[in-house]
Structure 1
Amino acid sequence: MKQLVSIIIPCYNDGQYIEQSVNSALAQIYSNIEVIVVDDGSNAVTKDVLKKIEPTITKLITQSNQGQSTARNVGIRAANGEYILVLDSDDFFEPTFCSKAIAVFLNKKEVKIVTCQANLLLENGSKVVYTPKGGTISNFMISNSALGTSMFKKKDWKVCGGYDENMRKGFEDWEFFIRLLKNGGEAEVIEEPLYNYRKKNNSTTVKANQIKYELLQYIYVKHIELYKENCESLIRHFLRKIEGEEIEKLKNLNRIEYKIGFNILRPFRFIKRKFKIIKIKYAASHFNYCL
């Protein structure tokens, strides 16, 4: 018998998109699935949509708003599947993701996470394809190298302690993957855009990036022993990053647009300097007069 895949969909005020998200889960060609939606304290509009689609899903769990990490953990605890797929309520999968992800798990015992390329759906109607890096813990120490909506085994979720429920501002999926891989294993990337991600201007990811240094500090301190053990590789990474930024800065300085702008503004800078000198001389003479 096929392994059961539990698709967990936390939902908070996504009445506009949740039906498409659920339908993409139900449309998987991999037949042995269950779909669990966790209503994380949504508004009345979203609750009406959830009530309409409830008969089509396996389970609807309702709770007060406690954040995405808690909602994911609640859904996973209620899951019966050996494999877990977390799906954001405003995004959707292509029908073949589950079947291709399960095939990876069955063929590669070292894999703990299966992710894929993603179509980034921009608000202007265009889209671009994003490819995560995947790999081992060394990649995940630098940045999140898998989509937050990836597949993993429930037993691995349990061993590493689930999602950190203190992380309500973002990056919780990255931190979870660090713990999932820190004792071995790797993330495999399916080289097809099987996931569709709405890149909204007010998304959780955008908000998280606005406070990313606060979130990075939390992750680094929480896993300080891991980062200490890999100090040398981290130093090399950060030095390469600084070098790249300096090279880019030099390129900008040498671009013709910069040179043109510099020359155009030169007379104004000259006048500004002269005016500053006059002000200094005036202030000095006024000071002498007062004496």
Structure 2
Amino acid sequence: MQPSEQKNLVSVVVPCYNQGIYLRETVLSVLESTYRPLEVIIVNDGSKDDSLQLARALAEEFPEVRVIDQDNGGVSKARNTGIEASNGSIILPLDGDDLISSDYIAAAVEVLKSQPSVKVVYSKGVKFDDSGEKSWNLKPFSRHQLALDNMIFCSALFRKVDWLKAGKYSVEMRYMGREDWEFWIKMLKDGGEVVQLPFIGFYYRLTPNSKRKKTSSAAIKRERIAFMNSKHAAFFARELNGPLRFRRSWSKPYNTMLKWLGLF
């Protein structure tokens, strides 16, 4: 049975895999939000550290926090699990080591409530580690640029109904990486506006074991591009005049040249 949806409730879904050392800081950044009502759903994705124990301690301490424990299935599965169990009409995914500002949720919800045509709201962001903050220049959103690369970090706010219409996060991408990029394509390829808030609301933690580094080999990139072309061929044809290529920035000129030569 699906939980009943509460119109003004924001559900913050926190997948956690071996991020126990950061988990409390992440959850506190949510609970310090100026927005209410909200709930925090921590999805322990088969962690081998003390993440589950720490998550349960947070749930004991704070009534807004719930914990779901599942076998390791990857971040897409963990996000889907948390959203499926959520009670809110608005979703914010937040990885177990990242942070948000106290005013981020309130400002994003105001946009979603006042502008029905907007599907996704995010903010400016910074990257950080123990040495301090590092600037992060996100490109402006357009569907053409989204076909080439992602400019919306994973922790944007969206309506639960749009997640469902998009077909949820793709669990098939577990070992390919860039699941958030493919999800935004699913969410936005057929329309919907995107708003970036004019302040820093998201803090992306740089860690030595980031998944992005593990999924950057040429073989994995080729697998990822093949998957995305198989799922979104019409979108890439519209925006890039053909499929996404390994050298992504060359996609549209290369496809256009092949068509001009009658080879594609």
What is the correspondence of 1:17-36 to structure 2 with a 5 Å cutoff? 17-36=22-41
Q: Which has the higher helix share?
A: 1
SS of residue matched to 2:164: helix
Query: Is the CA contact 2:240–2:251 (under 8 Å) kept in the aligned structure 1?
Result: no
Q: Distance in 1 between matches of 2:49 and 2:128?
A: 27
- Is residue 193 from structure 1 mapped to residue 200 from structure 2 by the alignment? yes
Query: Which runs of no fewer than 5 residues in structure 1 stay unpaired?
Result: 243-291
Counterpart selection for 1:160 from 166, 169, 174: 166
Q: Name the counterpart of 1:8.
A: 13
What is the correspondence of 1:70-219 to structure 2 with a 5 Å cutoff? 70-123=77-130, 125-169=131-175, 170-210=177-217, 211-219=220-228
Distance 1:2 1:76, change over 3 A: closer
Query: Is the CA contact 2:7–2:88 (under 8 Å) kept in the aligned structure 1?
Result: no
Query: What letter matches 2:157 in structure 1?
Result: M
Q: Distance in 1 between matches of 2:20 and 2:73?
A: 18
SS of residue matched to 1:209: coil
Query: What letter matches 1:135 in structure 2?
Result: F
TM-score by length of 1: 0.76
Q: Distance in 1 between matches of 2:69 and 2:149?
A: 33
Moved more, 203-212 or 18-27: 203-212
Q: Distance in 1 between matches of 2:240 and 2:73?
A: 35
SS of residue matched to 1:127: strand
- Displacement after TM superposition at 1:84 (Å): 0.2
* 1:146-203 deviations in Å (ceiling 9; x for gaps): 0111111000001111000111121111111101011101221112111111112320
SS of residue matched to 1:230: helix
Distance 1:225 1:215, change over 3 A: same
Task: Give the number of the structure whose alpha-carbon radius of gyration is greater.
Answer: 1
Q: CA RMSD in A?
A: 2.4
Query: What letter matches 1:87 in structure 2?
Result: L
Q: Distance in 2 between matches of 1:87 and 1:140?
A: 21
Counterpart selection for 1:65 from 59, 72, 86: 72
Identity of paired residues, percent? Answer: 33
Query: Is the CA contact 1:140–1:178 (under 8 Å) kept in the aligned structure 2?
Result: yes
Distance 1:174 1:52, change over 3 A: same
Query: Is the CA contact 1:134–1:187 (under 8 Å) kept in the aligned structure 2?
Result: no
Distance 1:143 1:239, change over 3 A: closer
Counterpart selection for 1:220 from 224, 229, 251: 229
Query: Is the CA contact 1:156–1:180 (under 8 Å) kept in the aligned structure 2?
Result: yes
The alignment covers a number of residue pairs equal to 241
Query: Which runs of no fewer than 5 residues in structure 2 stay unpaired?
Result: 1-5, 255-264
Q: Distance in 1 between matches of 2:206 and 2:117?
A: 32
Moved more, 216-225 or 88-97: 216-225
- Displacement after TM superposition at 1:221 (Å): 2.6
Q: Name the counterpart of 1:48.
A: 53
Query: What letter matches 1:16 in structure 2?
Result: I
Query: Is the CA contact 2:122–2:157 (under 8 Å) kept in the aligned structure 1?
Result: yes
Q: Distance in 1 between matches of 2:35 and 2:15?
A: 21
Moved more, 146-155 or 98-107: 98-107
Distance 1:84 1:209, change over 3 A: same
Distance 1:53 1:183, change over 3 A: same
TM-score by length of 2: 0.84
- Displacement after TM superposition at 1:2 (Å): 7.2
Q: Distance in 2 between matches of 1:53 and 1:11?
A: 13
* 1:64-119 deviations in Å (ceiling 9; x for gaps): 10111000001001111110000000111111100011122133332111111112
